[in-house]
Structure 1
Amino acid sequence: MDRKNNLKNEMEETKMTQEQYILAAQPNPLHQRGASVCGAQVYPAVGIYGWRKRCLYFFILLLLVTMIVNLALTIWILKVMNFTPDGMGNLRVTKEGVRLEGVSEFLLPLYVKEIQSRRDSPLILQSDRNVTVNARNEQGQLTGQLTVGNEGVVFSHSVETSHVRAEPFQDLKLESPTRTLTLEAPRGVEVSAGVGDFTASCRKDLLLQSSEGEIFLDASTIRLGNIPLGSAVDPLEGAPAGTTYTKQTVYELCACANGKLYLSPAEKGSTCQTTSNFCLWS
């Protein structure tokens, strides 16, 4: 009886040893169904351990920090740029168009149909060099230009305005260096200098013309400089043509048919008729 029991135990131990050997000889322990130790099934442990586990935790922590920094930067940009449902910063999008509030800077060309300021504030255009406004037709050709620079305001074509004035305590100068400067209005042109002097100078001709009315000069003193002195022919003495009155101190102002002015010696009567030859010579 004892021999049978011993033989049975030896067979069981031999069987367990064979099973453990078979399990140990398999290449992938994860697919093993399990080994029996002392009558219980034993399965190998599954997971990430050691340096792999530490690297995984490090990458998860790094990703979390990156997300937090990205979210913080996004919130900061939204706050600094003043993003709202209506626009961004000084820019507001309304039903009437785009509205800018405060100081704005444009680095590239701006194409708009109309620019207006608020009723209670002025519109200021500022540049480090100059401000240029161009007007073009449908073909892209330049039809008008306004340039504000160091030499003042330059217009390439005609300008229509109701009032032109300078800043307080500054001189107002209208100049056309290479062309003709014309002031024209259907009812009249008024040029006034409340405190200083009014000066009109040109290189060739200065034309004051009134189509229907008159040219009225009203001042306490009117001076006309560099007016030529006319000459006359005395019909009684037969003085030669071109005789001038050098000792005369008082003169009469005469006008030719073409509007040219000259001086004639003043006497009891008008002497413009006797010196009218000046109009033919001039």
Structure 2
Amino acid sequence: MTREQYILATQQNNLRTENAQLYPVGIYGWRKRCLYFFVLLLLVTMIVNLAMTIWILKVMNFTVDGMGNLKINREGVRLEGISEFLLPLYVKEIHSRKESPLVFQSDRNITVNARNENGQLTGQMTVGADAVKAHCKRFEVKSKEDGKIMFSADEEEISIGAQRLRVTGTEGAVFEHSVETPYVRAGPSQELRLESPTRSLTMEAPKGVEISAVAGEFRASCRRELHLQSTEGEIFLNADNIRLGNLPQGSFSSSTPNSAGPRQTVYELCICPNGKLYLSPAGVSSTCQSNSNICLWS
């Protein structure tokens, strides 16, 4: 190697050394400090997130079976204790445990809706502070033992399937229209009273009406007329004593001095063509014709 070549090679090495010092490789200065800061911030965030996740799992009581009072099993979802739902709840069946009742509570009211496959409302039941309302085509109450219908109501009629209907109110039962029943009876040691304060009271039956008071007395009173009518049969009064009170009394005069006097105690029952009854003093023969003037003034 000549001297000129050695000097040229030495200058090139010096130039390379200078260039290496002028262009360093890596991150230095404020960039390096910013990188360390962001790495430290990310590490702190991860630690905080992990701590919050562990705290939430601890507070909410997350387990492999569910979360807190909410347990998920093969039969469905089980809630223990008091649960609050802020949005609508869609379930197929709700039931309580065998040893505890099921309670629904709301600050306003509770509404249960039933819809068909098209989403149309077919039935609704609302339990409010003032009343319990049910909107449906037919409402039924069945017994637990045999599933017999105890009460049913629809647009056509209301049916009560119980063997006995008991009304315990002091004012009894009020019916604005007709009532159809095969049997009406009062409770033990109580009176049965059928009353119409402002209108008439009518009892009709195709085969007869039977009124019986086994241990008491029977009374029928009205303000105007009392009609007993039988279209194809007879009216039969069977009793030891039949009394008709407040009947008008006629007068009878005879030539016999002792035929009738102030001590008259025997009377004859007479009837007018219009059906009015009156008493006439009894004599040797009928005295109804002598007192027929009562029929004229009736």
Q: TM-score range by the shorter chain?
A: 0.5 to 0.7
User: What is aligned with 2:177?
Assistant: 157
CA contact (8 A) 2:69 2:81 kept: no
Structure 1 CA distance for aligned equivalents of residues 216 and 147 of structure 2 = 31
Task: Pick the aligned partner of 1:48 from 42, 51, 54.
Answer: 42
Task: Pick the aligned partner of 1:169 from 189, 196, 202.
Answer: 189
User: What is aligned with 2:78?
Assistant: 75
CA contact (8 A) 1:231 1:277 kept: no
**SS of the residue aligned with 2:291?**
coil
Residue 26 in structure 1 maps to residue 31 in structure 2:
yes
CA contact (8 A) 1:245 1:265 kept: no
CA contact (8 A) 1:254 1:263 kept: yes
Structure 1 227/135 Cα, relative in aligned 2: closer, same or farther at 3 Å?
Answer: farther
Structure 2 CA distance for aligned equivalents of residues 86 and 270 of structure 1 = 87
**SS of the residue aligned with 1:49?**
helix
User: What is aligned with 2:208?
Assistant: 188
Structure 1 CA distance for aligned equivalents of residues 189 and 150 of structure 2 = 21
The code of the aligned residue for 1:216 comes to: F
CA contact (8 A) 1:231 1:278 kept: no
Residue 254 in structure 1 maps to residue 253 in structure 2:
no
Structure 1 72/116 Cα, relative in aligned 2: closer, same or farther at 3 Å?
Answer: closer
User: What is aligned with 2:52?
Assistant: 59
Structure 2 CA distance for aligned equivalents of residues 122 and 151 of structure 1 = 30
User: What is aligned with 2:220?
Assistant: 200
**SS of the residue aligned with 2:29?**
helix
User: What is aligned with 1:215?
Assistant: 235
* Deviation (angstroms), 1:23: 2.4
Structure 2 CA distance for aligned equivalents of residues 59 and 190 of structure 1 = 84
CA contact (8 A) 1:231 1:245 kept: no
Residue 108 in structure 1 maps to residue 113 in structure 2:
no
Structure with more relative contact order (C-alpha pairs < 8 Å, separation 6 or more): 1
- Which has the higher mean CA deviation after the structures are superposed, 53-62 or 192-201? 53-62
Structure 1 CA distance for aligned equivalents of residues 94 and 203 of structure 2 = 46
Structure 1 164/269 Cα, relative in aligned 2: closer, same or farther at 3 Å?
Answer: same
* Deviation (angstroms), 1:188: 0.7
Structure 1 CA distance for aligned equivalents of residues 270 and 133 of structure 2 = 63
**SS of the residue aligned with 1:23?**
coil
CA contact (8 A) 2:267 2:281 kept: yes
Gaps of 5+ in 1: 33-43, 99-105, 126-132, 138-142, 238-243
Structure 2 CA distance for aligned equivalents of residues 122 and 223 of structure 1 = 48
User: What is aligned with 2:109?
Assistant: none
**SS of the residue aligned with 2:28?**
helix
* Deviation (angstroms), 1:180: 0.8
* Deviation (angstroms), 1:17: 9.8
Residue 263 in structure 1 maps to residue 279 in structure 2:
yes
* Deviation (angstroms), 1:18: 4.2
The code of the aligned residue for 1:265 comes to: P
Structure 1 260/72 Cα, relative in aligned 2: closer, same or farther at 3 Å?
Answer: same
**SS of the residue aligned with 1:174?**
coil
**SS of the residue aligned with 1:156?**
coil
> What aligned pairs does 1:62-141 form with structure 2 within 5 A after superposition?
62-64=55-57, 65-66=59-60, 68-69=67-68, 71-72=70-71, 75-76=78-79, 87-89=93-95, 107-113=132-138, 115=140, 117-118=142-143, 120=146
